[in-house]
Structure 1
Amino acid sequence: MKIALLSDIHANLPAFEAVLDDISKQSPDAVYCLGDLIGYNVWPNQVINLIRSHRIATIAGNHDLKVSKIHPSETGCSREDSTDYAYKLVGKNERDFLLTLPKHLRLTFELNNESVDVLLVHGSPRSINEYLLEDLPENYVLAMLKEYKADILCFGHSHKPYHRIVRSGSDSKPHFHHLINIGSVGKPKDEDPRACYVLLTVDKAADFANPDGVKVDFIRVQYDVEKAAQAIELSLLPDDLADRLRRAM
């Protein structure tokens, strides 16, 4: 089974459209979004409606839940007070959609007479706001994987893609777990401005006694970064967000 995973679109419509086009060429069996559809740019409603029209199963990100603090009637904003501008752009129907998204999704496979659990979260299983950085201590990571019974843990939030493999079990019967940071569609922070998403392949040959038991491909997609950056500069959003988009910082 080939699964497309994306995260952290952040209302960047040109990036999201480019990724959707690329995903359609890959013909995955399923597509999942790990949250943060909104924030930092001016197309939250268009992004939300594309997610819905493509029937992409989605979980809530921390930015998505920020709309709970914005009353639907609050649409006014000035350049001097633009903190909430990105969230005030969200329509009522789109707001209702965001506030009913699930916290996480779990996929369970039966492979080679073994149950395999894939857990999809935004930040971490413990908190939507936790950053699972690549250099976390291995004992912390293993304790979390054991607590939440995850063979493959997929997440976003930091906008920095990586694939890390950690080992549990005994020397005679090792078990390898996979941590996959999906990266960001709409606001990369790894000095590569291209949109990022992941193709995860789990097939009948999957072997968790082997560190290479599943295939993880990070796909980078060119899009019109300048169009997205200029949209920020023409809005009430802080101009430095446009510069960060250009530099992928």
Structure 2
Amino acid sequence: MSVTAYAPEAEERLRGEAAQIISRYPQARSALLPMLHLVQSEDGYVSARGIALCADVLGLTRAEVSAVATFYTQYKRHPNGEYTVGVCTNALCAVMGGDLIYERVSEHLGIGHDETTEDGKITLEQVECNAACDYAPVIVVNWEFFDNQTPTSAVELVDQLRAGRPVTPTRGAATVGTFKEISHVLAGFEDGRADEGPAAGPATLAGLSIAREHGWRAPSLDSSDGDASGTTGDVPDPYGSAERPPTTPDDSDPAGKRGPAGEGATAEEGKQ
């Protein structure tokens, strides 16, 4: 089946950047994932011509490329909006209001999961986890974090995006790049914004602060007998004379059976 080709200048540029990506890997086919982001940065989704280009450059069949592109949710098989708004509705975010946020935003925009507004500005996603439970409920816009959201703040956020106003994530870059721009970054081409804004807030660092207050550090493993309480060679005991933290979730529960993975865990704990 024939597909529409890229314009000559675009084809030359994409093949040049594809060569840079391939040079990072010992085997060319390992470059497929970032190359799919590359063609997505050009077309706004993984198009038929993008698949054909990846297949030709890597010496794969179009079926092989399509099999990968349809497996991962970050690769879109139809035109995506300028901004992907992902509302987390997994356990913790749901308990904290994620379900209500998704329902309110969906109703406000008039679209459902993986659908795009008529103006092409926003694609809405119901996300299984945004990996930021310490700031639940969380929304990501093109994978930049917006923490501690409410239905009202979420609606205001999407309205700003549709109006073309810059929005500032809670953490990360100072502003949110477009879907195509971020796809180019995911392809492995830095945009010079990696050090913008805060990376971690107090909620994320709470455990580290407590560990420092108590002088706790991860034990080093003695390679000779596997005793985590010992040291190896010239490596000093990380605890010294400091009291070691408990090695079980609860001193009164030495078997750890009330932990999330242990016997007797509740359904909600098991989801964490």
TM-score of Structure 1 vs Structure 2, range by shorter chain: under 0.3
Larger radius of gyration: 2
Per the normalisation by structure 2, the TM-score is: 0.22
Higher relative contact order (CA 8 A, sep 6+): 1
The structure with more helix, counted as a fraction of residues:
2
The structure with more strand, counted as a fraction of residues:
1
Per the normalisation by structure 1, the TM-score is: 0.24
